[in-house]
Chain A
Amino acid sequence: MKEKVLTEHFGLENLYKIDVYQKQGGYRATEKALKKMKPEEILEEVKKANLRGRGGAGFPAGVKWSFVPDTDKPKYLCVNADEGEPGTFKDRYIMSHNPHMLIEGIIITSFCVGISVAFIYIRGEYEAIALRLEQAISEAYEKGFLGKNILESGFDLDVFVHRGAGAYICGEETALLESLEGKRGNPRLKPPFPASVGLFQCPTVINNVETISNISHIILNGAEWFIKQGLPKDGGTRIFGVSGMVKNPGIYELPLGTSLKDIIFKHAGGMKEGKKLKAVIPGGMSAPILTADEINIKMDFDSLVEANSMLGSAGIIVIDDKTSILDVLKVVTKFYSHESCGQCTPCRIGNSWINKIVKRIAEGKGKKEDIDSILRLASNIEGNTLCPLGDAAAMPILSITKKFRKELESHL
């Protein structure tokens, strides 16, 4: 039996208020976890659930938590709500419709890992949502789900909302930590990994909003149930965000492994009137592009890797045949050039260089060798940068340029 997990009650009026949330069974998972479970049991359950990170990288959450060393240092939880990957808007829905589901996840995660301070790092533009989160947090304090000695378990937790200020790179976990510490969002060298040396040099868990929002459901219904909502190695549902040239853009919570073709043509209503499918970006802008004949594919981490793309943030951007691929490439290259933090050489200069070439082509001043230059430069960025942004930029640039080379050459 597959069902909606995260978005089930999204239609409900005032779900963001704690009373309404509790009427739907809200905070029962917290009670169960804090009163009836040991941290080790929670960790075991989350590991068994094969909950993979929903931010993009798909790292199993339980495994990530288990990397946190046993120390006397304070430990932190950072919820990554810096949703900035183009084509992605699912976390916005979760936080604005059901902030308490996220807070519950934060409480249980913190209890499990032994954390007493959690920060929700939310992108600066989501100011209204940040306010909603803060209201929800203060409701949770009032009801005794946050603060000192929560539900008389002896467990203390404070949660703060921390707003970013306009920098895509801060969605990268170590850049997020730098930003949260009050610095420029320059990613850190790894190792050490945040689980051992993270926020304020202390062990830190960083998980995406959607990842954390699944926790209460796993606790209530168990790992086995959770796996049944998705795939054995990839438990649960995914909230797919569909945008671009479809009839019904929006979020669709579906089991992992749902076919991309079905998402576009069944769930999102197919192409807009008179438009034909040309290409799809399946997992946020960083995911390599798929052509119209590559969409018979299951939407889960492994299937997409097999197709040389990635599930990423599950933001699906649907491109129609009237759209010039050069325009797409221009938007893509401008974005990464604008969002490169500038710290490391290949990303700082490579992305700007490629964008300069693409702009020149768009101005009608393309040269024969430009396409090869783009491919060469993007390959030189790929794998050689300090953080994943280099690959995130190179992957779409390479795939677009390779798969639509003929069309691009027609502009030269």
Chain B
Amino acid sequence: MSPEFSEKTKKKIEEIVARYPQKEAAILPILHITQQEFGSISAEEEKLVARILGIKPISVRELVTFYTMFPKESLGKYHIQVCSNLSCSLLGAGNFVDYLVEKLGIKPGETTPDKKFTLSTVECLGACERAPCMMINFNYYGEMDPKKVDEILDGLK
């Protein structure tokens, strides 16, 4: 079945669209909502967004593949994004990723078979003073070390 937004979401989208003098400008906010509701933006979701904005699905694809925050495939319940940029790698982000790879049994870009965790390495998250840092979904965690990450991950259901 093709995805559809709830009435509530549709209203919210209308509100967002009204902010801009050109409808297409609302596409990033709408894609964020889509990502939140459906967990990924595959061809079906692209078509849904295209329909709402009255544009072609290819125009949505051009954006979805340009920006990094709209994965095509569903991610795990917890998306662990480890910064691999300079300040973090100076303070051991590399080792930290290795630890997560071993602990979760997946490589960056992969999802655990139980769909609980997806591991990614990403560019600078803007929290360099807390290196090495990571995000789990939209929460920031800093000064990471194996002990700390054990506590954090074990606390996640």
Question: Which residues of A pack against B, CB within 8 Å?
Answer: 74, 83-89, 91-92, 123-128, 158, 160, 162-168, 179-185, 200, 241-245, 249-251, 281, 285, 315, 317, 319-320, 323, 327-328, 331-332, 334-335, 338-339, 341
Contact = CB atoms under 8 A, between A and B. Distances in A.
5 contacts: A124-B67, A183-B24, A184-B66, A200-B25, A332-B86
A346 B29 CA distance: 32
Contact of B24 (A181, A328, A334): A181
B129 interface: yes
B129 A182 contact: no
Given A165-B68, A241-B129, A249-B129, A335 B138 contact: no
Given A87-B86, A163-B28, A328-B86, A124 B69 contact: yes
Given A163-B32, A244-B90, A317-B86, 6 more contacts: A162-B29, A165-B28, A168-B124, A250-B129, A317-B87, A331-B89
A86 B128 CA distance: 8
Contacts of B130: 249
A323 B90 contact: yes
Contacts of A91: 126
A86 B123 contact: yes
Closest 9 A/B residue pairs (Cβ)? A166-B68, A243-B128, A165-B67, A182-B24, A243-B87, A182-B27, A86-B124, A249-B129, A166-B69
Given A165-B69, A241-B129, A243-B131, A331 B62 contact: no
Contact of A251 (B62, B89, B124, B129): B129
A88 B126 contact: yes
| Best-surrounded residue of B63, B128, B130, B131 (most CB of chain A within 10 A) | B128
A123 B32 CA distance: 12
Given A166-B68, A323-B90, A243 B129 contact: yes
Contacts, number: 139
Contacts of A339: 123
B79 to A, nearest CB: 11
B40 interface: no
B130 to A, nearest CB: 8
B6 interface: no
B114 to A, nearest CB: 25
B28 A84 contact: no
Contacts of B62: 183-184
Contacts of A251: 129
A165 B90 contact: no
B2 interface: no
Nearest to B81: A125
B48 to A, nearest CB: 16
A123 B28 contact: no
Interface of B: 19-22, 24-29, 31-32, 62-63, 66-70, 84-87, 89-91, 123-131, 135, 138-140
B63 A164 contact: no
B15 to A, nearest CB: 11
A84 B122 CA distance: 12
A168 B123 contact: yes
A244 B66 contact: no
A167 B87 CA distance: 19
B86 A89 contact: no
Contacts of A331: 84-86, 89
A315 B69 CA distance: 25
A181 B69 CA distance: 18
B126 A242 contact: no
Residue among B27, B84, B130, B138 facing the most chain A CB atoms (10 A cut-off): B138
Contacts of A182: 20, 22, 24-28, 63
Contact of B128 (A88, A167, A319, A328): A88
B22, B63, B86, B138, most chain A CB atoms within 10 A: B86
Contacts of A123: 126
A183 B63 contact: yes
A86 B67 contact: no
B90 A245 contact: yes
B126 A83 contact: yes
Given A92-B127, A166-B68, A181 B84 contact: no
A347 to B, nearest CB: 15
B133 to A, nearest CB: 10
A332 B85 CA distance: 8
Nearest to B63: A184
A282 B106 CA distance: 36
B98 to A, nearest CB: 14
B34 to A, nearest CB: 11
Nearest to B28: A165
Contacts of A163: 28-29, 32
Contacts of B28: 162-165, 179, 182
A125 B24 contact: no
